[in-house]
Amino acid sequence: MNTNTLEAFTKPVDLRKLIIGLNEPSHEVALSLVSINKNWVSEKENPSTETAINGVCVISKDGFKGAITNNLVGGNRWMTGQKNLGNITFNLDNNESNYITVDIEKLNLEVIPIVKGNEVTFEIKIDFEAILNGFKGNLNVNELEKGIEKKVKEEIKTTYEEGLNLDIDIYRLSEYLYRDNVKIWKIIEKDGKIPLTKDSISKITINVNKILSGRKVFQDSVGE
């Protein structure tokens, strides 16, 4: 993934937000994982440096918990509440030669805790507009929407499950329950976190409100 895409993986965190995050459920905070790379043009010239964001690292009140990097961290950008996310690239119909890139704008996120007894699951609803960067050949709008939806769902699930592997509540689902139903949260929480499994996210709904090519909204199919 390129640096422009990675920049949207987590919101900037100042000291105040860090302290608040560590004191709210799930008592974990995600920070940008930054590296400085040296680019050597030749042995005679000094190398240029380039800053890259490689993912996120997560800390708790007890210290460093782990890092989620590269292709495993993409889902976090959909869950930060930021409106504009840069771009995503995906392929249509599993055709390795047919890659599409779109920019994501005007994103809205809703996370809904579903409580049944003492069992809690979460539904995630995301809607946004997509702007087509460039394409070759003909594109069907329905196929394009399905391709975007599939890519977003895959990223959300992949990052969430990697967080579980590290015992990290990467999407702060514990906080969503705390704010929605503190009574149930108090019953099931342990050290500020609620128990989570792969099935705790029960439904992901992705709605592409518009697909634009430049300033135009296309309705049916788009030709080169």
Q: What is the mean pLDDT of residues 61-85?
A: 88
Q: 179: which 2 tokens?
A: 């704010």
The alpha helices in 72-181, defined as continuous H runs, are: 141-165, 173-180
Q: What is the mean pLDDT of residues 95-105?
A: 80
Q: 164: which 2 tokens?
A: 């579980």
Distances (CA, A) of 12 to 9, 29, 107, 179: 10, 11, 18, 22
Report the C-alpha gap between 129 and 52 in whole angstroms. 27
pLDDT at 218: 53
Q: Which of 157, 135, 153 is CA-nearest to residue 144?
A: 135
- pLDDT tier at 38, thresholds 50, 70, 90: confident
Q: What is the mean pLDDT of residues 115-119?
A: 94
Name the amino acid, one letter, at 76.
Answer: N
Contact predicate 8/86, CB 8 Å: yes
* Domains annotated on the chain, with CATH: 3-219 (3.30.300.210)
Q: Global pTM?
A: 0.83
pLDDT in tens, 119-175: 999 999 999 999 988 666 667 888 889 999 999 999 999 999 999 999 999 999 999
* Number of Cβ within a 10 Å radius of residue 94: 6
pLDDT at 19: 87
